[in-house]
Amino acid sequence: MIADDLMIVLPELLLAGLATILLMFGVFRGNRSTPSVLMLSVAGLAVVFAVLVLRPGAHGDAFGGLFVADGFAVFMKALVLIGSAATMIMSLRYFERKQALRFEYPILMLFATLGMLMMISAGDLMSLYLGLELQSLSLYVIAAFRRDNLRSTEAGLKYFVLGALSSGMLLYGASMIYGFAGTTSFQALAAVFAETMVAGEAPSVGLVVGLVFLIAGLAFKVSAVPFHMWTPDVYEGAPTPVTAFFATAPKIAAMALFVRVVMGPFGDFVGQWQQILVVISIASMVLGALAAINQTNIKRLMAYSSIGHVGYALVGLAAGTEAGVHGVIVYMAIYLFMNIGTFACILCMRRKDVMLEGIDDLKGLSKSNPLMALVLAIFMFSMAGIPPLAGFFGKLYVFLAAIESGLYTLAVVGVLSSVVGAFYYLRIVKLMYFDEPGESFDQPVGGEMVVILVGAGAAILLFFVFPAPLLDGAAAAAAALLAG
């Protein structure tokens, strides 16, 4: 019995063990060992990835339904692992140059990743909170990782305080749900709600209020409006590799959790939460598009960009259908690659070993570094949603799902705000290609950056040629979620 459970949670077990061992290793060897700890962490993530993907049969519930392993979880975990590993690789040289190498950094990222995997597989409000807090606590620390830097510590503190607030809301919501439904297990909740639906009764007000609080807590994690306020400040203040990490893996994990909660136990109450999600989604898309226009710092711009992207992903979720979930999964996967690539570019923005964050620093990049300009242009066009790049298809699927569900207003607002949003993405392209160049950035950027840039760029550029792996995988994942 317990052996079966352990087999199901094998990837998480491996990751937890690895993190602990590397922590000991680091403690004994000191900061000198950071590069090796980091490389070992990446290798460990690769192993976990392999274990995760190569055991398709190991699905099922573990520990009495606290932990769920299904196709959806596997797919989202794979994305999270890719995001974690890529951002980890990108951060090595950054910290070397800043002489801020600390072996705790990769360890904390590993623990955060572990938290994310737990979130994705949460089958109970308790395990949901467990995973969420493991992730959040690690992220609070690494946001403030450059503790001698004022902005970094400010970012960490802000994130911590607001995160605590959101956790409080989430817990409050969870407690209300428990109070009105009498259980915290998703399966049991689903059964209770199904009974209510069969009986033709409306869900009790307290239950829905609890759901709203729960959604508020989750919306904070995906940084959807109006729970987004931390995002620009933290993105700007945190060290750039940390920002890259924030923008990728946790977003995917939080979105996966979001999907699992509202589609799983609350799936029968689509009518109840759909409107809330529509409001959040519209607000996120519009604010993400508008507020980014005035930004001069590219990390802040990426913060608003991610707010906007979360809005688009929520369009798919708001549809509340399998097609919608499929759209969300596709969207988040494409979002992951676009963001990894873009942040890799941002990490390459340095002149005489000084990191640059101004959008204007990109002026004339096409002349000083044509390859990087080309790749960044691909990412920008993709984020703007211009065919035939991947970003276009991401938007296409969520909007299609919304239209099929009759959410025309949502789709129209989404399309309009993506038009507005295209402005600031295209402005970057314009700066790179049509403005007079400043000094060129430092060369070379490093082999691992080139690999990441080219890989992410190729994935975005060639998606429309080989869409099947992602689309089929996402379809299977969506089907698995709704079947379970």
Partner 1 sequence: MIEVAIVLLPLAGAIIAGFFGRLIGNRGAQLVTCCLLGLSAILSIVIFVDVALSGNTRVTEIFTWIDSGDLELSWAVKLDTLSAVMLLVVTVISTLIHVYSIGYMAHDKSIPRFFAYLSLFTFFMLALVTADNFVQMFFGWEGVGLASYLLIGFWYDRPSANAAAIKAFLVNRVGDVGFALGILGTFVLFGVVGFDQVFGAVSGMADTNFVFIGIEGHALTIICILLFIGAMGKSAQLGLHTWLPDAMEGPTPVSALIHAATMVTAGVFMVVRLSPMFEYAPIALQMVTYVGAATALFAATVALTQTDIKRVIAYSTCSQLGYMFFAAGVSAYSAAIFHLMTHAFFKALLFLAAGSVIHAMSDEQDMRKMGGIWRLIPVTYGVMWVGSLALAGIPPFAGFFSKDMILEAAYGAASTHGMFAFWLGVAAAFMTAFYSWRLLLMTFHGQPRADAKVMAHVHESPKVMLIPLLVLAVGAVFAGYVGYEAFVGEGRVDFWRAAVLVLPGNDAIAAGHHVPTWVKVIPLVMAVAGIGLAYVMYMLRPGLPAALVARVRPLYLFLLNKWYFDELYDAIFVRPARSLGANLWRSGDGALIDGVGPDGIAAATRSLARRASRLQTGYLYHYAFAMLVGVAGLISWYLFSQVG
Residues found near partner 1 in the complex (CB under 8 A): 157-158, 161-162, 165-166, 169, 202, 205, 208-209, 212-213, 215-216, 220, 225-227, 229-230, 232-233, 272, 275-276, 279-280, 287, 290-295, 420, 423
Using the minimum distance from each CB to partner 1, give the nearer residue, 103 or 159: 159
Using the minimum distance from each CB to partner 1, give the nearer residue, 42 or 431: 431
Shortest separation between residue 334's beta carbon and partner 1, angstroms: 25
Shortest separation between residue 229's beta carbon and partner 1, angstroms: 4
Shortest separation between residue 115's beta carbon and partner 1, angstroms: 22
Using the minimum distance from each CB to partner 1, give the nearer residue, 292 or 402: 292
Taking alpha carbons only, the member of 310, 290, 279 closest to residue 407 is: 279
Cα–Cα distance list, 241 to 154, 255, 318, 445 (Å): 17, 21, 31, 15
Token pair for residue 56? Answer: 């398709």
Shortest separation between residue 436's beta carbon and partner 1, angstroms: 24
Shortest separation between residue 232's beta carbon and partner 1, angstroms: 6
Using the minimum distance from each CB to partner 1, give the nearer residue, 25 or 423: 423
Q: Are 73 and 120 in contact (CB under 8 A)?
A: yes
Q: Are 226 and 283 in contact (CB under 8 A)?
A: yes
Using the minimum distance from each CB to partner 1, give the nearer residue, 266 or 337: 266
Shortest separation between residue 141's beta carbon and partner 1, angstroms: 18
Shortest separation between residue 27's beta carbon and partner 1, angstroms: 34
Using the minimum distance from each CB to partner 1, give the nearer residue, 90 or 219: 219
Shortest separation between residue 383's beta carbon and partner 1, angstroms: 17
Q: Which residues pair with 67 in a beta bridge?
A: 62, 122
Q: Which residues pair with 185 in a beta bridge?
A: 124
Using the minimum distance from each CB to partner 1, give the nearer residue, 42 or 380: 380
Using the minimum distance from each CB to partner 1, give the nearer residue, 58 or 276: 276
Using the minimum distance from each CB to partner 1, give the nearer residue, 215 or 474: 215
Token pair for residue 397? Answer: 């699927």
Token pair for residue 469? Answer: 């792996």
Shortest separation between residue 230's beta carbon and partner 1, angstroms: 6
Q: Are 393 and 464 in contact (CB under 8 A)?
A: yes
Using the minimum distance from each CB to partner 1, give the nearer residue, 62 or 280: 280
Using the minimum distance from each CB to partner 1, give the nearer residue, 14 or 279: 279
Shortest separation between residue 161's beta carbon and partner 1, angstroms: 6
Shortest separation between residue 29's beta carbon and partner 1, angstroms: 38
Burial of 67 (0-12, 13-18, 19+ CB in 10 A): buried
